[in-house]
Structure 1
Amino acid sequence: MSRLSTLLFSGLVFALGAHAEATTTTATTTFDCCKLLKLAFGSHVVFPDSTQYNSSVSSYFFLEQRNLDPSCIVQPTTADEVSKVVKTFAYCPYTELAIRSGGHSPNIGFSNTNNGITLDLRGLNSIVLASDSKTVSVGTGNQWGDVYNKLDPLGKTVVGARVFDVGIGGFLSGGGISFFSPRDGFGCDNVQNFQVVLASGAIVNANAKENPLLFKALKGGQNNFGIITRFDLVIKPTARFWGGAVVTPESADPAQLDAFTKFKQAPYNPLLEIEQTFVYYGSQQSYFVSNNLFYLTASSNISSLDPFTSITPQLSSTLRISDVADFASEVEAGQPMNQFTVYATTTFPITSTNLKLIYALWKTTTGQLAAAIPEAISAMTYQSIPPPPPAGAPKNLFPFTDPSQTHPLVLLLISVYSPYEKDYTLLQQKSKQFITAVETLLNKPGNGGVSPYKYLNYAATWQDPISGYGVATVKEMKSTAAKYDPNGFFQKVVRGGYKLK
């Protein structure tokens, strides 16, 4: 080793607080990089077959992510430690880094890696309410349920996920649709400040005044610009409202489709949040509809929900006044567990007939899937796109400037599941065939067409949601990335996620 290399590496070890001697400056293998990280972080680096490693891998929500085997997992607890991990990677030019917040993405490799190194951020789990109670600072390693449990007793809330165990980081960096989105927009539009570790290891704030281009880029830009370690979120004053799930049998499907069509064609109501999900459970060989209905008031008058609550027969209803944590726990309980899963999505403007046409395609696809996978689950959800930020407010990356553009749009999610790994390729194929068939149908005259926007947090690995932001926005994103990540660390080393093309 040259004297200069020795000095450089010694300086790195000193900066990382490590107390060990090293023999090389460059890790030529992933295992060498793991050893280098072990020197610096000690017990915060865990290896296969250890209790901590197995606990981390088994905690991913979807089985396809649990099946990946990183060479080691780094578990920092502070932004400074995240910075030092990034700096260490300057000595690991051949190693892939995966970044994990909550680990709720179904896309293989988006938050875990095979044979690379996973940065597990769940140790960054602080929740600090500002002294003026206008904001709350949330570590990226939290789940939304942690935040709701902290704020609900105080009569406060934030614009976060509808599912209790979804992580903070991926949800907000992809946009984020909330119970409160009809009124307050995407979750990312309610972030006042991001604390970010850049590719250089520098820790910066991104907000409307500091690094404003980065601030915008992080609102829908996923992991292309930095590692977000903390979100400062705007507090909302109320946390109790009407909500719950109303379930009806397959015989009520025509009435359900009619109700959602009329809901989308009616004047916009910022207090109504509706998720209409058509479900097939192979283990029961049964179809049903589950409507998650939310009305953002505790008023006794909930007539706005009548078009859905009046549909009969009902198999069950949990409508009630409650808080965010309770509703998010209920939504979580309805998620299929321990499954290999594929999500895919598209967006389109409502017409008087297109929901019914898409429903027929879904029934056909689901029948084919059930014939091949007897235990398959298939779900198709219709919901709304949140309105854009108001005039004068900081912007996100999405291609909307006025609520009149988003209100007519329907966001479609297809999610298909199997408990068996052997079925995963077929799940990918059938979901892709379905979305292709839907978009082909919609592009026929009279069927409304297709919006270029695809919600990133629902997109499949074969989809390209970033291109749907528009040519000018993608160009701006590339310029921002060149400024904050000139060597392409988050394109070349952090390979998971949707990259700038």
Structure 2
Amino acid sequence: MPISQAAKSLAAFYDFLNRVDSDDHNITYDNHAAGPIVCFSYIQQLGIQTIAINLVYTKPPENKWPVCWKTSSFASLWRLWSTCKVRTLTSATDEMNNLNPPGRRQVFATTTIKNDPATLIATHAVYRDAIASLRAANVKGLVWTLFLQPLLPDWVRKGDANPLGLHDVDEPLVLVNFTVNWDKPANDELVQTTTRCAIEEIERVAMENGAGHPYRYLNYFAAWQRPFEGYGEENWKFLREVREKYDEGVCLGGGVGVGLRFR
């Protein structure tokens, strides 16, 4: 959809995550609903900004729109086209994978914020404001993308403690992720620095708004980030003890990449 729908997309995202508990689970937290994931992208080759919204429902609906999505603000957003249909998981995954082709320069970085409208707006502003410097540098093949992805209390509070530091989450959280692709190694430093500055600015604003959170999603973190520290000292200690007790060969420490190193 066009970038003119940015404010409405942010509002729809906030509203859906912030739905209060109700006796009608179709319009609150439906166990078959995944997402929403809202993505804002600047595409250098086309010189445009776009929005993509990913809505998933894991039970074949009787109608095109399940009740939980139909009653949300997403249903009324104006869009250029839609690929909404009943499909296999493989088909849906392939569609998303096509947006992130292999063989290109790439960087990830992430942070976590509370579902606070002012902080969501500020997060999008940080993404948007960074485009000017990237455009001025003419970074060839750049796709500068901001993802907003929910982490709901119902998903992490299942009755058992967990080592992620999320056992006491009682409000919706938002995983903020930059996924950035470009063509030339000559632009590595600029893109990586811009991405890091964007994350740090989002974290600064979130802290000012009382909307920051220490959790960092392991799949999305950058090389300079330390996601295990966000789990809390006791949980981090527990994970290191598990490694020492059960992983003498250091499989989790060095055999499968930096993402699983307990440092």
Tell me the residue number matched to 1:286: 48
Alpha-carbon distance between aligned partners in 2 of 1:323 and 1:490, rounded to the nearest angstrom: 32
**Which of 10, 21, 46 is matched with 1:257 structurally?**
10
Deviation at 1:294, TM superposition (A): 0.8
Q: Does 1:432 align with 2:196?
A: yes
Change (3 A) 1:456 1:493: closer
After TM superposition, list the pairs within 5 Å mapping 1:97-116 onto structure 2.
none
**Which of 180, 186, 195 is matched with 1:422 structurally?**
186
Tell me the residue number matched to 1:304: 68
Partners of 1:249 and 1:289 within 8 A in 2: yes
User: Which residue type is aligned with residue 465 of structure 1?
Assistant: P
Deviation at 1:418, TM superposition (A): 0.9
Tell me the residue number matched to 1:470: 232
Alpha-carbon distance between aligned partners in 1 of 2:184 and 2:9, rounded to the nearest angstrom: 32
User: Which residue type is aligned with residue 271 of structure 1?
Assistant: H
The 4+ residue runs of structure 1 with deviation greater than 4 A are: 486-495
User: Which residue type is aligned with residue 440 of structure 1?
Assistant: R
Tell me the residue number matched to 1:459: 221
Deviation at 1:331, TM superposition (A): 1.4
Q: What does the per-residue CA deviation read over 1:176-217, in whole Å, with 9 as the maximum and x for residues that have no partner?
A: xxxxxxxxxxxxxxxxxxxxxxxxxxxxxxxxxxxxxxxxxx
Deviation at 1:281, TM superposition (A): 0.3
TM-score, length basis structure 1: 0.46
Q: Does 1:378 align with 2:144?
A: yes
Query: What RMSD in Å do the two structures reach over aligned CA positions?
Result: 2.2
Deviation at 1:257, TM superposition (A): 1.0
Q: Which has the higher contact order (CA 8 A, sep 6+)?
A: 2
Change (3 A) 1:264 1:398: same
Change (3 A) 1:480 1:376: same
After TM superposition, list the pairs within 5 Å mapping 1:78-477 onto structure 2.
248-267=1-20, 268-269=28-29, 270-273=31-34, 274-301=36-63, 302-306=66-70, 307-312=73-78, 314-372=79-137, 373-385=139-151, 387-388=155-156, 390-391=158-159, 396-401=162-167, 405=169, 407-444=171-208, 447-477=209-239
Q: Which moved more, 1:478-487 or 1:286-295?
A: 478-487
Higher helix share goes to which structure? Answer: 2
Alpha-carbon distance between aligned partners in 1 of 2:92 and 2:129, rounded to the nearest angstrom: 32
Deviation at 1:364, TM superposition (A): 0.7
Deviation at 1:296, TM superposition (A): 2.7
Change (3 A) 1:419 1:406: farther
Deviation at 1:328, TM superposition (A): 1.3
Partners of 2:119 and 2:211 within 8 A in 1: no
Tell me the residue number matched to 2:24: none
After TM superposition, list the pairs within 5 Å mapping 1:63-74 onto structure 2.
none
Change (3 A) 1:323 1:471: same
- The gaps in structure 2 that reach 5 residues or longer are 21-27
Alpha-carbon distance between aligned partners in 2 of 1:489 and 1:304, rounded to the nearest angstrom: 42
Residue-pair matches, total: 247
Structure number with bigger Rg: 1
Alpha-carbon distance between aligned partners in 2 of 1:484 and 1:437, rounded to the nearest angstrom: 39
